[in-house]
Copies of this chain bind each other. A is one copy, B any other.
Amino acid sequence: MTKPRAELYGAPPMLLVHGGAGVIRRDMDADAERGVRAALAEALRRGHESAAAGGSALDAVTAAVVALEDAPYFNAGHGAVFTHDGINELDAAIMDGATLRAGAVAGVRRVRNPVLLARAVMEHSPHVMLAGEGAEGFAREQDIALVDPDYFRTGRRWRELQAARRQANRNEHVDHFGTVGAVALDARGRLAAATSTGGMTDKRWGRIGDSPVIGAGTYANAACAMSGTGWGEFYLRTAAAHAVCMRVAAMRQAVGEAAEAVINEEIPALGGSGGAIVLGADGALAMPFNTDGMFRGRIGNDGEPHVAIWPDEHI
């Protein structure tokens, strides 16, 4: 379990990303680890380039999450896990801390970059959350890129589904979860958060996890932005992202203290697990997790990406 961290890294723009906390050490070979680290660094660079070119915190998290969705290593976009019925159902959310505007989509099957659809929901619809075929109809109206469902399919995730089905048949616990996300602080002091996921391997019955739920896996206000990754049901029950950001905004807790209390205390006390990336308006950050590892990274105003996976790596 990582210790609370709330260090100040100086002036914005700042960007944190995660690629999931469902990593298990024995699953990783050296090639995969190199690929994951390169993909995290690339996502950080893409977000930073956007910010360096004058983009907002919203632009930075959008660019970073698109890069993570497009990479095959993470459970979002291309590379998403399969549902029980062998399809990919994708969820995403985005929130602008400065205005409390938010957009989210759940259960889409043809949207190449769900975070772009979530942003279109926020900016071009009167709604916050759209689901399923209706959300895809909105995507068509907005000229959001649609792809054949086969685009999301990777051999690795298909094999994971087969393994999960075998485990489920033996009543073993299946905990293949993962997510990607980003939080950013821009030069004007605005915060934003975004999260995207394929959900839980072998999920059934149209399950919606925490990622597309504003307040659970994703939240941002004027003082704090969080993107979570973990066992979504526990993030929903604790309204985890809102709980962390309300501790920072209304209870004046430090970012590290707030993140530790919710992610490493409240959620494990209920039986859940996972991690999060949290950024404060003062530049304080926290990346708590209580799993074996969390794909994560940070980039500051020097434009140098720093990435990590295991608990003993400090970035």
Contacts and interface: CB of A to CB of B under 8 A. Distances in A.
Interface of A: 95, 100-102, 106-107, 125-135, 137-138, 203-209, 213-216, 219, 232-233, 236-239, 242-243, 246-247, 250-251, 270
Contacts of A134: 204-207
A128 B246 contact: no
Nearest to A243: B246
Given A130-B206, A138-B206, 11 more contacts: A106-B106, A130-B207, A132-B206, A134-B204, A135-B205, A135-B206, A137-B204, A213-B214, A215-B216, A219-B239, A251-B251
A179 B58 CA distance: 33
Contacts of A133: 206
Which 3 residue pairs are nearest across A and B when measured between Cβ atoms?
A134-B206, A215-B239, A239-B242
B214 A239 contact: yes
Contacts of A205: 125, 127, 130, 134-135, 137-138
Contact of A250 (B132, B207, B251): B251
A192 to B, nearest CB: 14
A37 B212 CA distance: 38
Nearest to A121: B205
**Total copies of the chain:** 2
B129 A131 contact: no
A120 B250 CA distance: 35
A219 B213 CA distance: 14
A215 B95 CA distance: 16
Contacts of A102: 236-237
Contacts of A251: 250-251
A257 to B, nearest CB: 13
A129 B239 contact: no
A143 to B, nearest CB: 15
A207 B129 contact: yes
B208 A106 contact: yes
